[in-house]
Amino acid sequence: MQQIRPRATMRDVAALAGVSLKTVSRVVNDEAGVGDAVRARVRAAVVQLDYRHHQAASDLRRGTGRTRAVGVLVQDVANDFSSRLLRSLEDAAREHGLAVLAGSLDEDPDRERALVADMVARRVDGLVIMAATSMQDYLQPEQRAGLPIVFVDREPAGIAADSVTVDNRGGARAAVDHLLERGHRRIAFLGDLPSIVTANERHLGYLESLQAAGVPADPSLAVLGLHDEDQAQRALESLFASRTPPTAVFTARNVITVGALRALRARGASWRTALVGFDDLPLFELLDPSVTAVRQDVAALGRATAQILVDRLAGDASPPRRVVLHPELVFRASSNAPV
Amino acid sequence: MQQIRPRATMRDVAALAGVSLKTVSRVVNDEAGVGDAVRARVRAAVVQLDYRHHQAASDLRRGTGRTRAVGVLVQDVANDFSSRLLRSLEDAAREHGLAVLAGSLDEDPDRERALVADMVARRVDGLVIMAATSMQDYLQPEQRAGLPIVFVDREPAGIAADSVTVDNRGGARAAVDHLLERGHRRIAFLGDLPSIVTANERHLGYLESLQAAGVPADPSLAVLGLHDEDQAQRALESLFASRTPPTAVFTARNVITVGALRALRARGASWRTALVGFDDLPLFELLDPSVTAVRQDVAALGRATAQILVDRLAGDASPPRRVVLHPELVFRASSNAPV
DNA sequence: GCGTCGGGAGACAACGTTGTCGTGGAAGAG
DNA sequence: CTCTTCCACGACAACGTTGTCTCCCGACGC
């Protein structure tokens, strides 16, 4: 590497241009009150020294407490759902000149608290959280300090804050209703830990749907606590190994659906077993059979979340908003399997 | 919302605890030289006032010029490849206590320059860039100022900097060689703009492979400038509509492959047309036919990138490193179609 | 010629924090 | 009992920037 040259400060620029520091500040910030000749001299010095504005120092001095950055904490930036949400939020943020500090929580409450603490220390202007904790009362001091917090995908507990979520229970009910209408009675449920609100809601939707149809829920058909594809795949395999295997499966999250698809494929049971998944994936349409899924409008989720955040940043102090989007059941072939 | 209470500063904490500001600083930073009683009093005041450390002010005063944040600019955080890379980088960064500022470039050079300028103003400690510009000489001043920059996925031009890339040309050659070995002679190429280095390299690999096999390249079979699924789908459809349609297709990027799959599916030609894609997707294995693809080890790409960045941050001033990973051709069913 | 006005430019302090040095008092040595 | 030593703690300045106030000088009116 070449010789490193420390960053020039306004003081350096001022010295080179033969003006005062304040005059440089005026030029850099395009303020009035600087003659054309001096302005040009300063501009030249800025270029010559590769001066770059120091935003943190500027923010500090201005004392507005604004950093023009927002924190976005999702479950996993590599997951299809989270990453599309992140992108949607990023677009809205950039439109308002906000940078995005991103973080993955991996359903780890400690990680959530640690990342939030970091974002707070960085004085982000706002926070979007897909919570991994079951209780977010620890955020009250931050909220009191004026930090806008918007909960996305999962409603907050222990704190009154804005949220943008999806009707998980309703989506799950629609999925299971659909399978019941096709005549299925032994419907398996594969989901994540009930401590995750969305997972629990989807499980409740499953149970409600069965109950409404007068079908007794067989606890041995519901497997909870599935985090990844492998676990889901193995879970479905062992369900099939039982004496009374399911004729249909409702998978409550994208990675679980994929794991289940692998299990069905390995068993050659794809066309014999009805499947509905929560979360749509771009390729579900192209599989054989194509996969029936509960689709969330991720872009809309992100837009609504960003809108609230931006409003709050603009000073909106109205009571917490609670936006609930409704998912849509996309009918495809996988739910057509015979009973 | 409730009454907002401005953030407490060390001065407030000091006043409440009846000590000097500097003593608060010592307690907050776990420095020695504070008696137990005073320490406890300060701690209590910190809790009572919900004091939160102000990292920017701290960084500024310490004058190390470090912010413990890195910028990661990828093509699109919602894309499977980019998001997995981002996640891999995030994990490595967090391990070293670094926060991640993320941004999507969408192959837009202006956006790249704007986001870089923003990151520089924020004084990120390092920068990872999947470049959208064809020339990165504009980054020389930043590099000279000591900013470590690592180019990922695409090698830099006009600047001597670290890079971690994939042998795109070799991967493409392997893909096309494979199709040639199966006897195909009319092999279509669907790719993005040649101004994108990786896209161009893959195109060159395609051409080299044909040439090595003595198969004349038919320009009408190569379609460049495809950005998304729809464009790819339409491109392949019009190739099929020609008098001499291809018997095999090489698609040079994940979204293009998906578009091509849609076209094949719509035409019912999935089993009649050989297909190899660059970039593997999790569900390719489950499609019928399963999709042969050139797989990049994204996690390894991220790890290597992060390693270099971390080394640089630790003071490594050795000449720029150039790491090239080799992709792997994953044989599946889609390349078995007859000639 | 004198007073006034206005615009360009600089001096100074401050944002929230920490490095450096200084001070006062208790403990220990002789 | 005095001198030294050490430790706990505080005063002050500074990081890079900007808001406020002041100053100077040329232009203008009478």
DSSP letter at B106? T
| CB atoms closer than 10 angstroms to residue A230 | 12
Q: What is the tens place of the pLDDT at every residue in A130-173?
A: 999 999 999 999 999 999 999 999 999 999 999 999 999 999 99
d(CA B286, CA B45): 59
- Cβ atoms of A250 and A310 within 8 Å: the answer is no
pLDDT digits (tens, 9 = 90+) for A234-281: 999 999 999 999 999 999 999 999 999 999 999 999 999 999 999 999
The answer to whether the CB atoms of A102 and B77 lie below 8 A apart is: yes
Strand C contacted by B10 CB (< 7 A)? yes
Beta carbons of A262 and B286 less than 8 Å apart: yes
Interface touch B121/A87, C-beta < 8 Å: no
Q: Percent of chain A scored above 70 by pLDDT?
A: 99
Strand pairing report for B99-104 and A328-330: unpaired
CA distance A199 to chain B (A): 23
CB atoms within 10 A of CB B165: 22
Nearest CA in chain B to A318: B1
* CA–CA dist B153, B158 (Å, integer): 16
Q: pLDDT tens digits for A180-216? A: 999 999 999 999 999 999 999 999 999 999 999 999 9
Q: How far apart are CA A305 and CA A84, in angstroms?
A: 13
A38-58 confidence digits (pLDDT tens): 999 999 999 999 999 999 999
Whole-number pLDDT of residue A323: 97
Q: Which CATH architecture has domain A69-167+298-324?
A: 3-Layer(aba) Sandwich (3.40)
Which residues on adjacent β-strands are paired with residue B328? Answer: B295
Q: d(Cα A335, Cα B201) in Å, to the nearest integer?
A: 43
- In chain A, residues with a C-beta closer than 8 Å to the C-beta of B87 are 76-78, 104
Q: What is the CA radius of gyration of chain B?
A: 26
CA angle (A109 as vertex; A107, A111 as ends), nearest 5: 90
Rounded Cα distance between B239 and B222, Å, is 9
Mutate to test the interface with B, among A9, A28, A52, A88 (most CBs of B within 10 A): A52
| B chain contacts of residue A282, beta-carbon cutoff 8 Å | 258
Contact partners, residue A156, CB within 8 Å, separation at least 6: A131, A136, A139, A149, A163
Look at residue A79 in the predicted model and tell me its pLDDT.
Answer: 94
Angle, helix B298-313 to helix B80-95, in steps of 10 degrees? 40
Q: How far is CA B63 from CA B57, B60, B71, B77, in A?
A: 10, 5, 20, 33
Q: Which nucleotide is at minimal CA–C1' distance from A61? A: C15
Q: How far apart are CA B111 and CA B95, in angstroms?
A: 29
Phi, psi of A190 (to 5 degrees): -115, 120
Nearest residue (CA) to C1' of D16: A57
A216 Cβ contacts chain C strand, under 7 Å: no
Predicted local distance difference test score (pLDDT) of residue B2: 62
The architecture that CATH gives domain A168-297 is: 3-Layer(aba) Sandwich (3.40)
Contacts of B80 in chain A (CB under 8 A): 80
Measured distance CA(A112)–CA(A73) in Å, rounded: 8
pLDDT tens-digit map of A97-127: 999 999 999 999 999 999 999 999 999 999 9
Q: Which of A62, A115, A122, A251 to mutate to test binding with chain B, by most B CBs within 10 Å of its CB?
A: A122
Chosen from B70, B87, B116 to mutate, greatest number of chain A CBs within 10 A: B87
Residues 6+ apart with CB under 8 A from A291: A257, A261, A275, A277, A281, A284, A285, A332, A333, A334
A11 touches strand D (CB under 7 A): yes
- Nearest-angstrom CA–CA distance, B187 and B171: 16
Question: Cα A254 from chain centroid?
Answer: 14
**CA at A281, C1' at C16: how many angstroms apart?**
48
Å between B20 CA and D1 C1'?
35
Residue B159: how many CB atoms within 10 A of its CB?
A: 16
| Residue of A2, A124, A98 whose CA lies nearest to B147 | A2
Shortest CA–C1' contact from B13: which nucleotide? C16
CB of B57 within 7 Å of some strand C atom: yes
| Cβ neighbours of A94 in B, within 8 Å | 103
Q: What is the pTM of this model?
A: 0.94
Distance CA A115, CA B97 (A): 10
Structure confidence at residue A63 (pLDDT): 85
Confidence of residue A224 (pLDDT cuts 50, 70, 90): very high
Query: What confidence score (pLDDT) does residue A2 get?
Result: 62
User: Are residues B206 and B250 in contact, defined by beta-carbon separation less than 8 angstroms?
Assistant: yes
Q: Domain ranges for chain A, please list them.
A: 10-53, 69-167+298-324, 168-297
Chain C: positions less than 7 Å from a protein CB are 7-12, 14-20
Euclidean distance between CA atoms B335 and B296, whole angstroms: 18
Is A214 near strand C, with its CB below 7 A from some atom of it? no
Predicted local confidence at residue A56, as pLDDT: 96
Cα separations (Å) of A20 from A39, A265, A314, B286?
Answer: 12, 74, 35, 68
Q: Do B281 and A281 touch (CB under 8 A)?
A: no
CA distance A195 to chain B (A): 24
Strand C closer than 7 Å to the CB of B77?
A: no
Instruction: Supply the pLDDT for residue A106.
Output: 96
Mean pLDDT per block of 10 residues along chain B (339 residues) reads: 83 95 95 91 96 96 92 97 97 96 97 98 97 96 96 96 97 98 96 93 97 96 96 96 94 96 95 96 94 97 97 94 97 93
